[in-house]
């Protein structure tokens, strides 16, 4: 093996990360739909030629894709072997969530990179397409009982052979979406990002040589593993458990447990999800690749300084029971994977808090509140506004939680109100913080948000909500209090209504001038309420984050002396 000095290794790590970053930026600039262009729900990376393991991922890509995209690349490796091998310029495309993880909205492109006629690595691109068919515009169908009710299912197929794009595949894709122009724009953006990645890899290997770069990739994986083992050795040995619940599966109004047992032994850790709910009828199931990737995201949050590659997970054993909702089999629906993986992260944090509470934050708001509003314009053209919404993050040993942040499964951003109003016939009556939604504590959680969205289109619209935390609040840790629960309401002729299943509903008919309203959860609090500084309480009240009544109930009245 080629020996690499630390300085060269650091330079190569930065160069390769920059390639992934630039691929991300290329797609963000080129994509047609705001979920990619504005919210940055996409990712790019470099993957091992033989195993598909993640070698490098950019800083802008979603963390959840680090793990699942390695499964996607592995699927392409297996498919290529059955097809008789690969050629330079081949590109595979698919969205099958049971093979590549997450859900059917995430379209994956995998392209081999060759150097001097030899396969060196894979480049991959994944992006959340705006609509991929199915029963519900935007594909978050809370009542789906199989994947065919969620979206068009595409297994791994060759989009390009030896550099020649297969137009038949593109025609099939565009025929299976309500928004073909958006889909074509996103596809071309992903193809452009892969082209750029190939160019930048050529430049990198021209500068350093294939042998040196290959050795650097191996060294980075070994270094990540060594750092992870060192971190684990600093923690106490033991076993700790935590359990939380999803509201329901969208079909049956019954809570679904997600449970984890966290065990640390010297330089190894086990995350055992035995005891979690069985595979269910509704779309909160997730496939095994998604569960493994979620474990990675939780670990990366706890150890943020570690590199983003597969070496981090080598000392960690993830146990996911067969037959559970965390290892669902095709064709179980998986459209609401976001809600389930957020709860998995919550229970990992809650369990880890019992081992090393200073390492973790309290539970964040725990739902992306996937809301679709769709209809037809007066000229007959369909429109689909899909977006996700923010909430409060958990408090920590150092500080209060972030107000109105995005979900901890991603680095995506919430699409700006101005972009959504410009693109769709809607108006935001309200977009602001939600007072009294944070969990109290020595460091309170962040507050959630309030969104009220009115339909302007004279033909009206139909709304679909896929959310969570309508019945089980985000948990505090280290004696901190829980945050507020999720609240959703929709306007009808005579009153405001709420969903029977609290956080999920489809087919909400809205006339012009009617609205939907989301009040998102706040984060859990950290530490005993009695330890919160009176000045901090007074500041919260002054800023309107906490009401005087709530402050008195949670902390007593001594804080009033600060303002007297």
Q: For the residues of 370-390, what is the DSSP string, one character each?
A: EEEEEEE-TTS-EEEEEE---
* Nearest Cα residue to 38 out of 463, 364, 385, 404: 385
Residue 562's Cβ-count burial label (10 Å; 0-12, 13-18, 19+) is middle
**Is residue 539 one of the residues assigned to a domain?**
no
Number of alpha helices (DSSP H) and beta strands (DSSP E) in the chain: 13, 20
Residue 554 inside a domain? The answer is no
Let me know: does 12 contact 21? Beta carbons within 8 Å: no
Same domain, 219 and 367: no
Cβ within 8 Å of residue 413, ≥6 positions away: 38, 39, 40, 406
Structure tokens at 421: 């109003």
> Which of 308, 298, 271, 348 shows the shortest CA–CA distance to 66?
308
In a domain, 469, yes or no: yes
518 sits in the region (left: phi over 0; alpha: psi -120 to 50; else beta) called beta
Flag whether 549 is in a domain: no
Q: How far is CA 373 from the centre of its chain?
A: 21
Domain boundary among 179, 201, 225: 225
Q: Of the candidates 519, 445, 450, 520, which has an alpha carbon nearest to the alpha carbon of residue 483? A: 445
The overall pTM is greater than 0.75:
yes
218: containing domain: 6-225
Taking the C-alpha atoms of residue 273 and residue 52, their distance in angstroms, rounded to an integer, is 25
Write down the H helix ranges in 303-404: 337-355
- Whether 155 is covered by a domain: the verdict is yes
Q: Is the dihedral of CA 274, 277, 278, 280 positive or negative?
A: negative
Which whole-number Å values give the CA distances from 11 to 59, 208, 218, in the listed order? 16, 11, 15
Six token digits for residue 138: 């935007």
- Bridge-based pairing of strands 382-387 and 370-376 is antiparallel
Which residue, of 198, 225, 252, is where some domain finishes? 225
Domain count of the fold of the chain: 2
Q: What are phi and psi of 146, to 5 degrees?
A: -155, 170
**CB within 8 A of 45, min separation 6: which ones?**
20, 54, 55, 56, 57, 58, 61, 65, 66, 69, 123, 124
Q: Is residue 138 part of a domain?
A: yes
Instruction: Answer yes or no: is 294 within a domain.
Output: no
Whole-angstrom Cα distance, residue 140 to residue 38?
A: 19
Cα 192 to Cα 125, 132, 320, 351: the distances in Å are 10, 21, 37, 43
| pLDDT by residue, tens only, the chain of 564 residues | 567 889 999 999 999 999 999 999 999 999 999 889 988 889 999 999 999 998 988 777 677 887 789 999 999 999 999 998 899 999 999 999 999 999 999 999 999 999 999 999 999 999 999 999 999 988 988 999 999 999 999 999 999 999 999 999 999 999 999 999 999 999 999 999 999 999 999 999 999 999 999 999 999 999 999 999 999 999 999 999 999 999 999 999 999 999 999 999 999 999 999 999 999 999 999 999 999 999 988 998 899 888 878 888 899 999 999 999 999 999 999 999 999 999 999 999 999 999 999 999 999 999 999 999 999 999 999 999 998 899 999 999 999 999 999 887 766 678 889 999 999 999 999 999 999 999 999 999 999 999 999 999 999 999 999 999 999 999 999 999 999 999 999 999 989 999 999 999 999 999 999 999 999 999 999 999 999 999 999 999 999 999 999 999 999 999 999 865
Listed residues 225, 256, 288: the one ending a domain: 225
Is residue 135 in some structural domain?
yes
């Amino acid at each position: 093996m080629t020996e690499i000095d630390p300085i060269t290794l650091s330079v190569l790590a930065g160069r390769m990360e920059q390639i992934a970053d630039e691929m991300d930026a290329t797609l963000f600039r080129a994509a047609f739909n705001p979920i990619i262009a504005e919210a940055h729900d996409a990712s790019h990376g470099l993957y091992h030629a033989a195993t598909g393991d993640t070698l490098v991922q950019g800083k802008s890509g979603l963390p959840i894709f680090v793990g699942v995209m390695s499964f996607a690349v592995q699927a392409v490796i297996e498919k290529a072997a059955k097809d008789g091998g690969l050629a330079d310029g081949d590109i595979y495309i698919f969205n099958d969530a049971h093979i590549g993880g997450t859900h059917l909205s995430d379209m994956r492109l995998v392209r081999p990179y060759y150097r001097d006629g030899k396969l060196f690595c894979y480049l991959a691109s994944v992006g959340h397409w705006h609509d991929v068919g199915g029963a519900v515009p935007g594909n978050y169908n809370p009542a789906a009982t199989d994947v065919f009710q969620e979206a068009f299912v595409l297994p791994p197929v060759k989009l390009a052979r030896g550099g020649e794009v297969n137009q038949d595949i593109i025609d099939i894709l565009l025929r299976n979406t309500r928004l073909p122009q958006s889909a074509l724009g996103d596809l071309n953006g992903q193809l452009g990002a892969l082209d750029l990645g190939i160019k930048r890899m050529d430049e990198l290997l021209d500068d350093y040589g294939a042998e040196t770069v290959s050795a650097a990739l191996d060294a980075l994986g070994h270094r990540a593993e060594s750092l992870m083992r060192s971190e684990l050795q600093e923690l106490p040995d033991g076993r700790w458990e935590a359990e939380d619940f999803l509201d329901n599966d969208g079909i049956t109004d019954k809570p679904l447990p997600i449970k984890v047992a966290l065990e640390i032994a010297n330089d190894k850790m086990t995350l055992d999800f035995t005891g979690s709910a069985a595979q269910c009828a509704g779309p909160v199931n997730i496939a095994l690749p998604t569960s493994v990737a979620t474990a990675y995201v939780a670990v990366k949050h706890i150890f943020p300084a570690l590199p983003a590659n597969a070496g981090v997970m080598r000392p960690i054993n993830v146990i996911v029971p067969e037959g559970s909702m965390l290892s669902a089999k095709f064709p179980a629906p998986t459209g609401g994977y976001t809600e389930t993986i957020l709860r998995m992260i919550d229970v990992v944090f809650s369990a880890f808090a019992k081992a090393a509470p200073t390492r973790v934050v309290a539970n964040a708001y725990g739902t992306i509140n996937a809301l679709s509003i769709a209809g037809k314009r007066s000229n007959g053209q369909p429109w689909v506004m899909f977006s996700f919404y923010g909430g409060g993050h958990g408090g920590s040993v150092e500080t209060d939680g972030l107000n109105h942040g995005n979900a901890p499964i991603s680095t995506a951003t919430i699409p700006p109100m101005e972009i959504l109003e410009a693109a769709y016939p809607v108006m935001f009556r309200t977009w602001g913080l939600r007072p009294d939604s944070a969990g109290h504590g020595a460091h309170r959680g962040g507050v959630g948000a309030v969104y009220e969205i009115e339909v302007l289109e004279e033909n009206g619209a139909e709304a679909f909500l896929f959310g969570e935390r309508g019945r089980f609040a985000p948990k505090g840790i280290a004696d901190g209090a829980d945050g507020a629960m999720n609240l959703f309401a929709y306007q009808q002729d005579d009153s405001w209504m709420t969903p029977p299943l609290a956080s999920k509903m489809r087919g909400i008919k809205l006339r012009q001038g009617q609205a939907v309203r989301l009040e998102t959860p706040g984060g859990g609090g950290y530490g005993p309420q009695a330890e919160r500084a009176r000045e901090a309480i007074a500041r919260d009240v002054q800023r309107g984050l906490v009401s005087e009544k709530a402050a008195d109930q949670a902390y007593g009245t001594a804080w009033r002396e600060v303002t007297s």
